[in-house]
Amino acid sequence: MTMRGVRYLVAVAVLWPMLAWAQAAPTASLDRPRVGLGETVTLNIQIGDGDADAPDLSPLSADFVVLGTSTNHTLSIVNGHREAHTILGVALRPRREGHLTVPALAIGAQKTPPLDLDVEAPGKTAGTANPDAPVQLEDMVNPTHAYVGQQIDYTLRLYFTNLADGNLGDPAADGAEVRRVGQDANYQTTRGNRRFNVVERHYAIFPQRPGTLDIQPPTFQGTVVDPNDMDAFFGSGSPVSTVGQPLRVEVRGRPSGAADGAWIPARSLSLSLDGLPADGKATVGQPVTLTMRLEAVGMPFEALPALSLPTLDGADVYPDKAATGGSTSGPWITGRRQQAFAVVPTRPGTLHIPETTLHWWNVVTDKPEEATIPAHDIQVAPGSGAPAKATPPRAPATGASPSASPAAAPVAGARSPWLWGFAALAVLWIATLLGWWLTWRRRGAREPVAPAPSGSAMPVREGATRDAFLRATGHADAQTVERALLAWARTYHPAIRSLGALSPLLREGPQRDAIATLQRARFAGGTWQGGMLKDAFARGFDWKPADGADHGPLPPLYPR
Q: Which of 219, 252, 285 corresponds to the end of one domain?
A: 252
Q: Which helix (H) or strand (E) holds 407?
A: helix 404-407
Nearest to 272 by CA among 24, 549, 524: 24
10 Å CB burial of residue 411 (0-12, 13-18, 19+) is middle
**Which sign, positive or negative, has the C-alpha torsion 11, 17, 20, 22?**
negative
In a domain, 152, yes or no: yes
Angle, helix 462-475 to helix 478-489, in steps of 10 degrees: 160
- With the CA atoms of 357, 362, 367 and 371 taken in that order, what torsion angle do they form, in degrees rounded to the nearest 10? -20
* Cα–Cα distance for residue pair 30/45, rounded to 1 Å: 9
365 contacts: CB under 8 Å, gap ≥ 6: none
Contact predicate 174/279, CB 8 Å: no
Q: Enter the pTM of the model.
A: 0.52
Q: What type of residue sits at position 425? A: L
In a domain, 77, yes or no: yes
Hey, which residues does 178 pair with through a beta bridge?
205
In a domain, 61, yes or no: yes
365 with 296, same domain: the answer is yes
In a domain, 151, yes or no: yes
229 with 327, same domain: the answer is no
Dump strand ranges (E) for 40-97: 41-48, 64-78, 81-94
Q: Which of 350, 381, 412 corresponds to the end of one domain?
A: 381
Contact predicate 392/347, CB 8 Å: yes
In a domain, 189, yes or no: yes
- So what's the pLDDT on residue 271? 96
192 with 271, same domain: the answer is no
CA 54 to chain centre: 30
* Cα–Cα distance for residue pair 488/461, rounded to 1 Å: 9
What CATH number is attached to the domain comprising 63? Answer: 2.60.40
In a domain, 514, yes or no: yes
* DSSP codes of every residue in 176-196: EEEEEEEEEEEEEEEETTEEE
Contact predicate 142/153, CB 8 Å: yes
**Terminus-to-terminus CA distance in the chain, angstroms?**
58
159 with 228, same domain: the answer is yes
195 with 158, same domain: the answer is yes
Query: Containing domain of residue 341, as a range?
Result: 265-381
φ/ψ of 221, rounded to 5, equals -130, 135
* Cα–Cα distance for residue pair 202/332, rounded to 1 Å: 9
| pLDDT by residue, tens only, the chain of 560 residues | 555 554 554 444 445 444 444 445 688 888 778 877 766 778 888 887 655 578 889 999 999 988 777 777 766 666 666 677 788 888 788 888 899 999 999 888 888 989 999 988 755 544 444 556 788 899 999 999 999 999 999 999 999 988 888 889 999 999 999 999 988 999 998 877 788 999 999 999 999 999 999 999 998 988 888 776 655 555 556 778 788 889 999 999 999 999 998 999 999 999 999 999 999 999 998 999 999 999 999 999 999 999 999 889 999 999 999 999 999 888 999 999 999 999 999 999 999 999 999 999 999 999 999 999 999 999 999 976 544 444 444 444 433 333 333 333 333 333 445 555 666 667 677 777 777 666 666 654 444 444 444 333 445 457 788 888 888 887 777 888 888 888 888 888 888 888 888 988 998 889 998 888 887 777 666 777 778 888 888 889 998 886 655 554 444 443 33
* Cα–Cα distance for residue pair 122/38, rounded to 1 Å: 7
- So what's the pLDDT on residue 117? 92
Q: Which helix (H) or strand (E) holds 243?
A: strand 238-243
377 with 316, same domain: the answer is yes
370 with 469, same domain: the answer is no
Contact predicate 291/17, CB 8 Å: yes
**Which sign, positive or negative, has the C-alpha torsion 31, 33, 39, 45?**
positive
Q: Which helix (H) or strand (E) holds 294?
A: strand 288-297
Residue 374 sits at the vertex; the CA angle it makes with 372 and 376, to the nearest 5 degrees, is 150
* Cα–Cα distance for residue pair 414/493, rounded to 1 Å: 39
* DSSP codes of every residue in 374-389: PPEEEEEEPPTT----
Q: Which helix (H) or strand (E) holds 349?
A: strand 349-353
Contact predicate 276/307, CB 8 Å: no
Q: What type of residue sits at position 418? A: W
Contact predicate 354/374, CB 8 Å: no
- So what's the pLDDT on residue 127? 44
Contact predicate 189/38, CB 8 Å: yes
* Cα–Cα distance for residue pair 105/55, rounded to 1 Å: 6
Nearest to 402 by CA among 458, 446, 455, 443: 458
- So what's the pLDDT on residue 442? 60
Hey, which residues does 73 pair with through a beta bridge?
86
Nearest to 143 by CA among 372, 331, 392: 331
**Which sign, positive or negative, has the C-alpha torsion 169, 170, 174, 177?**
negative
338 with 230, same domain: the answer is no
Contact predicate 219/169, CB 8 Å: yes
- So what's the pLDDT on residue 53? 72
116 with 141, same domain: the answer is no
169 with 211, same domain: the answer is yes
The total domain count for the chain is: 4
113 with 174, same domain: the answer is no
Contact predicate 117/100, CB 8 Å: yes
305 with 348, same domain: the answer is yes
* Cα–Cα distance for residue pair 428/411, rounded to 1 Å: 13
* Cα–Cα distance for residue pair 367/376, rounded to 1 Å: 28
Contact predicate 63/100, CB 8 Å: yes
* Cα–Cα distance for residue pair 122/97, rounded to 1 Å: 9
Quick check: helix, strand or coil at residue 273?
Answer: strand
* Beta strands at 376-381 and 349-353: parallel, antiparallel or unpaired: antiparallel
In a domain, 43, yes or no: yes
Q: Which of 327, 357, 381 corresponds to the end of one domain?
A: 381
In a domain, 428, yes or no: no
